[in-house]
């Protein structure tokens, strides 16, 4: 059945014959189809050749309807309808949808258009498309896939074909736009050249994305390795230290509890930080995958104009300004504080009385007061973390990273005794941390003035890319710090009138101020401004669960 059906279809329109004619070479065509190919109405002379076998025919050829073939077609279609009563029409004669575009040259019998000639502004059926390709005078015409809106593929100003691409403004243009229009004197390329250029650029971008994704995968593996190592190290230290404390359990129950909490807090903060790093890297991988997927779809687009329109719409004409994949600094996960705990326990076993009370015995974790925070700062809901709000690049560039007014105070102040707290800074390139006497309220409706700036009522330490300065009033002194501080400790001793800054992991003294002040002191944190995401990391107050009250436990020890 399939073979018989094919013999009853016109090779031009691929549909059943309508008014079939047989040429001298033996090939059959619809009358309108062969007339369209020859561009004749049946009365005038046309090209005397067969579209199928390309045999030349007499110029005075007369086309006559092949009634026998017409009868076969009629009988075949009638039998087909009778054997398929549920089918309203044959597949080839289905009613056309409202969106169907018809050939502009087929008047008597409308044919479905398969292409559009932008030069003629006409939709063409398969026969007339073949004619455009065969006639020499029409070969220079631009024939594209059929479209119901050919003007969308032309210049809206000059109604000319978009044959060029402006490399400066990244839009398709016509020749007149470049010669006399708004794109005059602009660098322009032909569509295929521009397409090749941007496809090459897109391939380079995809290679870069693939490389960045590999770097992100390595960084995530490193984070996972560090995470496991951190947990394992904490477990190892916890086991060894617990064993040491078992030998001095009678007098050191309270101290052991403190050290266990230090280890737990260290583990918690480090794993939270590593989780955050992994989240950042996974977000970068997701963004890279999204860009690669969209780029891959564009690379498979064979329509140059559509490709250029899409790549322009998606802002992929320029190389991507990708943020480098930053590998996690393994030194930041070094369990130095845990080694310090173990060393303190060893020292304590040798000379117990010389090491009480510990500085960590005075450890507190004050909450930040959002009411005192500069508007450009953001405080975490638990009051233990502060970071710089994201700002537009131009606004951020106008700020100074060391300006001390961008600060926040703690809710709690200290006026007597000894107090110690720690601030996690990790790899932040800029930060300012210290104490101050707090805001100075004035009488009247305006009470906004404060002493948050570096002055004679504040004592601070400032870090800038590995350099450390202590600041007080007009004093600026650079400190000789060999190893980068990732956690800063502050100890106030009102009895001695001292304020000391420590590397909180190694318990190494950085600097001590002599503070003769009768007013309460407030912890002060300044994360400094963030430009382009280089200083977005927060300042975090180190905290432990259920802090140990030293004055209570020392009474029991002395007994």
* 388-397 mean pLDDT: 57
- pLDDT tens-digit readout, 309-325: 888 888 888 887 777 88
Check whether 395 has a pLDDT greater than 60.
no
Instruction: Specify the pLDDT at position 494.
Output: 92
Q: In the predicted model, is pLDDT for residue 42 greater than 60?
A: no
When mean pLDDT is compared over 16-20, 399-403, 523-527, the highest value belongs to: 523-527
Greatest mean pLDDT among 62-66, 128-132, 169-173: 169-173
The residue whose two tokens read 């397409």 is: 195
Half-sphere exposure of 40 (CA within 13 A, CB side): 17
* 478 — pLDDT class (breaks 50, 70, 90): very high
What is the band of 435 on the pLDDT scale with cuts at 50, 70, 90? very high
- 131, pLDDT greater than 60: yes
The stretch 486-494 carries a mean pLDDT of 95
DSSP 399: S
By DSSP bridging, strand 508-514 and strand 498-503 are: antiparallel
Question: Taking Cα atoms as reference points, which of 424, 421, 420 lies closest to residue 487?
Answer: 424
Region 331-343: mean pLDDT is 85
Mean pLDDT of 95-112: 71
More confident residue, 110 or 468: 468
Give whichever of 105-114, 264-273, 302-311 has the largest mean pLDDT. 264-273
Question: Over the chain, what is the mean pLDDT?
Answer: 81
Q: Residue holding tokens 């045999």?
A: 55
Lowest mean per-residue pLDDT among 194-208, 263-277, 355-369, 506-520:
355-369
Residue 332's pLDDT band, with cuts at 50, 70 and 90, is: confident
Q: Which of 81, 79, 101 lies closest to 90 in space, CA to CA?
A: 81
Residues 6+ apart with CB under 8 A from 356: 255, 554, 557
Task: Please report the pLDDT score of residue 554 as a whole number.
Answer: 47
Q: Is the pLDDT of residue 453 over 70?
A: no
CB 543 within 8 A of CB 384: yes
Strands of the 143-145 sheet, one edge to the other: 122-124, 115-117, 143-145
H helical segments located in 323-465: 336-350, 393-397
The fraction of the chain above a pLDDT of 70, given in percent, is 84
Mean pLDDT of the 369-398 span: 79
| CB within 8 Å of 68: residues ≥ 6 apart | none
Measured distance CA(436)–CA(193) in Å, rounded: 65
Highest mean pLDDT among 235-249, 324-338, 503-517: 503-517
The residue with tokens 């002060």 is: 524
Confidence band of 439 (pLDDT split at 50, 70, 90): low
According to the per-residue pLDDT averaged within each range, which of 5-19, 100-114, 189-203 is highest?
189-203
pLDDT interval class at 251 (50, 70, 90): low
Average pLDDT of the segment spanning 256-264: 85
Segment 516-529, tens digit of pLDDT: 888 899 999 999 98
265-276 per-position pLDDT tens digit? 989 989 998 998
Contact between 478 and 466 (Cβ < 8 Å): no
With a CB cutoff of 8 Å and minimum separation 6, the contacts of 119 are 140, 141, 142, 161
On whether the pTM is more than 0.85, the answer is no
Q: Which of 62-71, 318-327, 348-357, 532-541 has the lowest mean pLDDT?
A: 348-357
Q: Where do we find the tokens 């490709």?
A: 307
Which pLDDT score, from 0 to 100, does residue 92 have?
A: 40
First vs last C-alpha separation in the chain: 110
Question: 91-96 long-range contacts, Cβ below 8 Å, gap at least 24?
Answer: 92/15, 92/16, 93/15, 93/16
Is the per-residue pLDDT at 448 higher than 50?
Answer: no
SS3 of 158, please? coil
pLDDT at 355 over 90: no
In the predicted structure, residue 555 carries a pLDDT above the cut 50:
no
C-alpha distances in Å from residue 499, one per residue of 415, 444, 483, 491, 504: 12, 34, 22, 6, 14
* Mean pLDDT computed over 429-444: 74
Taking the CA atoms of residue 156, residue 158, residue 162 and residue 168 in that order, the dihedral angle to the nearest 10 degrees is: -90
């Amino acid at each position: 059945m399939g073979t018989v059906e094919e013999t009853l279809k016109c090779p031009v329109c691929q549909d059943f014959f309508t008014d079939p004619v047989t040429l001298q070479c033996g090939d059959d065509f619809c009358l309108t189809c062969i007339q369209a190919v020859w561009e004749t109405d049946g009365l005038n002379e046309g090209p005397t050749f067969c579209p199928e076998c390309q045999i030349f025919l007499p110029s005075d050829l007369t086309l006559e309807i092949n009634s026998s073939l017409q009868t076969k077609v009629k009988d075949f279609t009638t039998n087909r309808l009778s054997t398929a009563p549920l089918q309203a029409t044959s597949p080839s004669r289905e009613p056309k949808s409202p969106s169907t575009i018809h050939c502009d040259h087929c008047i008597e019998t409308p044919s479905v258009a398969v292409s559009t000639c932008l030069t003629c502004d006409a939709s063409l059926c398969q026969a007339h498309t073949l004619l455009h390709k065969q006639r020499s005078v029409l070969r220079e015409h631009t024939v594209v896939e059929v479209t119901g809106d050919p003007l969308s593929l032309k210049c809206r100003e000059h109604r000319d074909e978009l044959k060029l691409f402006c490399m400066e403004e990244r839009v398709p243009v016509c020749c007149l736009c470049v010669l006399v229009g708004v794109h005059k004197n602009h660098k322009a390329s032909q569509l295929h050249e521009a397409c090749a250029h941007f496809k090459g650029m897109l391939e380079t971008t995809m290679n870069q994305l693939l490389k960045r994704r590999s770097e992100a995968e390595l960084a995530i593996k490193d984070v996972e390795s560090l995470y496991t190592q951190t947990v394992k190290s904490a477990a190892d230290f916890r086991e060894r230290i617990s064993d040491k404390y078992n030998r001095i359990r009678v007098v050191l129950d309270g101290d052991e509890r403190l050290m266990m909490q230090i280890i737990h807090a260290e583990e918690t903060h480090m794993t939270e930080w590593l989780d955050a790093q992994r989240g950042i890297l996974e977000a970068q991988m997701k963004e890279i995958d999204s860009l690669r997927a969209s780029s891959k779809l564009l690379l498979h687009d064979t329509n140059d104009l559509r490709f250029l329109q899409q790549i322009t719409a998606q802002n992929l004409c320029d190389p991507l300004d990708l943020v480098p994949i930053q590998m996690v600094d393994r030194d930041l996960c070094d369990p130095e504080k845990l080694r310090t705990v173990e060393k303190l326990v060893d020292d304590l076993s040798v000379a117990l009385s010389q090491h009480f009370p510990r500085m960590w015995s005075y450890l507190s974790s004050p909450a930040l007061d959002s009411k005192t925070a500069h508007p450009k700062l953001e405080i975490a809901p638990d009051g233990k973390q502060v970071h710089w709000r994201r700002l537009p690049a131009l606004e951020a560039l106008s700020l100074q990273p060391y300006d001390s007014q961008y600060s926040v105070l703690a809710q709690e102040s200290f006026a007597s005794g000894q107090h110690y707290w720690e601030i996690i800074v990790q790899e932040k390139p800029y930060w300012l941390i210290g104490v101050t006497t707090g805001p100075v309220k004035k009488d009247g409706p305006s009470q906004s003035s404060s002493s948050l700036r570096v002055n004679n009522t504040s004592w601070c330490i400032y870090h800038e890319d590995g350099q450390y300065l202590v600041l007080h009033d007009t004093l600026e002194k650079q400190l000789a710090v060999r190893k980068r501080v990732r956690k800063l400790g502050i100890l106030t001793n009102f009895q001695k009138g001292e304020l000391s800054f420590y590397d909180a992991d190694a318990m190494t003294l950085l600097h001590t101020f002599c503070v003769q002040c009768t007013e309460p002191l407030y912890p002060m944190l300044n994360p400094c401004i963030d430009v382009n995401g280089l200083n977005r990391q927060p300042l975090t107050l180190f905290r432990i669960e259920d802090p140990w009250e030293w004055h209570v436990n020392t009474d029991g020890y002395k007994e």
